[in-house]
Amino acid sequence: MGFLVIFIQKAIGQGIGILYGALGEIMTEKSGNLNLGIPGMMYMGGIAGLIGAFLYENGTANPSGPVGLLISFVCAFVCAALGGLVYSVLTITLRANQNVTGLALTTFGVGFGNFFGGSLAKLAGGVGQISVAVTGAAYKTPIPGLSKFGVIGQIFFSYGFLTYLAVALALALAFFLAKTRRGLNLRAVGESPATADAAGINVTAYKYLATCLGGGISGLGGLYFVMEYSGGTWTNNGFGDRGWLAIALVIFALWKPVNAIWGSILFGGLYILYLYIPGLDRGAQEIFKALPYVVTIVVLVITSLRKRREYQPPQSLGLPYFREER
């Protein structure tokens, strides 16, 4: 039982950052924009949050955990949202190719994170000297009391603030998309922007807002890996391919935020499964780390064969909208 509890905890720990990235991409894709820059924006959010916390803690005699948490949270969200704004200007206003723009944004975001991460390390006195212990501890603080309720407490209540925010955000996004007027308008923009425009919906505004907010949400995934998962440290290229896993999770979850919750835990478990199988060589480990992508491909094949509309992406996904073509 102890082994299973630890494995579930580790799977959840791996999955939450992926969940943030997937939720940001779901919101973006519901507007018809395909943003492959999510991995880069996760790096931008992670390093921006760390810089904000570092400058606060080193500039204050008695830093407060909640204040450091708030500063780093805002920095991460705003920086990643600005990445979404850059993508929006290029693809919505200038109608640049969405795939190329997204890939360029990923390259830029990773470089952005690594550059400022290295610069911050030098400022702190060298590699491994970055310390935001107060803010990191605030992020890792579990729910008081509940985490001590045996196995249930260990599995469900032993995590920090960002873990529960991710789940709440997924539920809120699901409600927004299915039950609110603005959410239905957003889905209409993603399905048929010309029809939505004819109905009086401001297509450009919805696309901009969804893409920028989606970018900000994905940036919280980077903040999670830096603060809650790593305890307030930075490693260049430390996120690995988790940003791409987030994009794969969108497909696996069939563009449904609630599915992304349990899907992220599954992906997290598959991603670390090789660590619990003794005797694997490096090649076998890499094969096991690819399991989330294999599962996604299987889901793609199955949903393509079934051809049910609710299992498909928005009809206008990745297509630029030219208003004069109505």
Q: Percentage of the chain surpassing pLDDT 90?
A: 67
| pLDDT at site 326 | 47
147: DSSP letter: G
| pLDDT at site 310 | 76
Q: What value does the mean pLDDT take over residues 303-307?
A: 74
Q: What CATH topology corresponds to 2-325? A: ABC transporter involved in vitamin B12 uptake, BtuC (1.10.3470)
Cα distance between residue 128 and residue 321, in whole Å: 47
CB burial class (10 A; 0-12, 13-18, 19+) of residue 192?
Answer: middle
One-letter identity of residue 297: I
pLDDT band at 283 (very low <50, low <70, confident <90, very high): confident
What does the block give as tokens for 259? Answer: 């599915």
Cα distance between residue 326 and residue 314, in whole Å: 18
Angle CA 225–229–231, to nearest 5: 105
Query: Per mean pLDDT, which range of 149-163, 237-251, 312-326 is the poorest?
Result: 312-326
| pLDDT at site 1 | 60
Per-residue pLDDT of 53-91, as tens digits, reads: 999 999 988 999 999 999 999 999 999 999 999 999 999
Cα distance between residue 147 and residue 169, in whole Å: 22
What does the block give as tokens for 257? Answer: 């935020």
* Annotated domain spans of the chain: 2-325
Characterise 5 by phi-psi region: left (phi > 0), alpha (psi -120 to 50), beta (else).
alpha
Characterise 145 by phi-psi region: left (phi > 0), alpha (psi -120 to 50), beta (else).
left
Closest C-alpha to 238, from 24, 73, 47: 47
Per-residue pLDDT of 232-278, as tens digits, reads: 888 888 888 899 999 999 999 999 999 999 999 999 999 999 888 88
Per-residue pLDDT of 93-107, as tens digits, reads: 999 999 999 999 999
What does the block give as tokens for 118? Answer: 């290295």
pTM higher than 0.85: yes
3-state secondary structure of 16: helix
